[in-house]
Amino acid sequence: MGAAAVMEVEQQQQRGSKPKVVFVLGATATGKSKLAIALAARFGGEVINSDKIQVYAGLPVITNKVTDEECAGVPHHLLSCVTCPDADFTAEDFCREAGAAIKRVLSRGGLPVVAGGSNRYIKALVDGNGGAFRSAHDCFFVWLDAAPEVLRRCTAVRVDDMVRRGLVDEARAAFDPDAGYTRGLRRAIGLPEMDAYLRRSQQDDNEDDEGLLERAVEEIKVNTFGLVQEQVEKIRQLSMLDGWDVRRVDCTEVLARMADGEGVEEPWGKVVWEPVQGMVTSFLEEEDTGIKLEN
């Protein structure tokens, strides 16, 4: 991003009494990463990951991390930063590391864009410690949402794409018959569901391997959509909290086209990008009045 955009953000930050931070909320497969990268590129910002599984190094397909190409040169923080797969990365850890990353971005005159599906982390950051973060920052939240049936279809499409990109081989390489699935990286949806198939595939008798694999993939889809439903409900609860200026963007049309294998760039621009870019521009230009705008 050029110097003009950076200067624009610096001037906008200076007009308010608090530094500004943008949060991109949404369930799995709603396009949070794409929007966060686009916002960071437009406003000279950097992305802070708030996904509790993507903080771990490894399993890029199963954890659905953005690729270097998708990052488009936008710096990312808290992505693949935990190298021990069994380590606990708590909400307290996230608040400390994310807070430090946001401070660094602001010190460079950039706009911090926090994006990820772990809404418990985001609530802990914004409202934890007596609301110290929200007291010190002007926060704006955009929520990418869609009709439940479309979200279900999109999660199924995403899982099928992950299988094509190597989910099975990635799970096989990480498989440890003596390890559990309750800590760290191994909690990722896509590993425990593959357990029965991978155990059978290690045996001499490979009868019904394909059936086990099909059931594993279907279980991944079911569990992923279960996570989606939990995420949507959590964001709904956050949107009703005092001081949370959450703007819901209905991207049903875009996600439905994506699930059907149709082109989405034009509708994404009209339905998501143009309105969100306008919202963020207005947010950055506003003085900190302490007044919550109507959704």
Taking each helix axis from N to C end, the angle separating 209-239 and 148-164, rounded to the nearest 10 degrees, works out to: 140
CA dihedral 259, 31, 229, 235 (to 10 degrees): -150
DSSP, res 270 = I
Separation of alpha carbons 35 and 23, rounded Å? 11
Write the class of the CATH domain 152-223: mainly alpha
Give the pLDDT mean for 228-245.
94
Give the pLDDT mean for 7-15.
52
Nearest CA among 150, 161, 118, 152 for reference residue 225: 152
Give the global pTM: 0.89
Q: How many CB atoms lie within 10 A of CB 242?
A: 7
Separation of alpha carbons 256 and 234, rounded Å? 23
Note the pLDDT of residue 87: 95
For 266-281, the pLDDT digits (tens) are: 999 999 999 999 999 9
Do 3-147+242-285 and 152-223 show the same overall fold? no
Is residue 7 pLDDT above 70, yes or no?
no
CATH number of 3-147+242-285: 3.40.50.300
Is residue 117 pLDDT above 50, yes or no?
yes
In this prediction, residue 243 has a pLDDT band, given cuts at 50, 70 and 90, of confident
- Ramachandran quadrant class, 293 (left: phi over 0; alpha: psi -120 to 50; beta: rest): beta
**H or E element: which one contains 258?**
helix 252-259
- The domain limits of the chain are 3-147+242-285, 152-223
Cα separations in angstroms, 171 against 95, 184, 188, 189, 195: 30, 15, 10, 11, 9
Question: Which range, of 29-38, 57-66, 157-166, 238-247, averages the lowest pLDDT?
Answer: 238-247
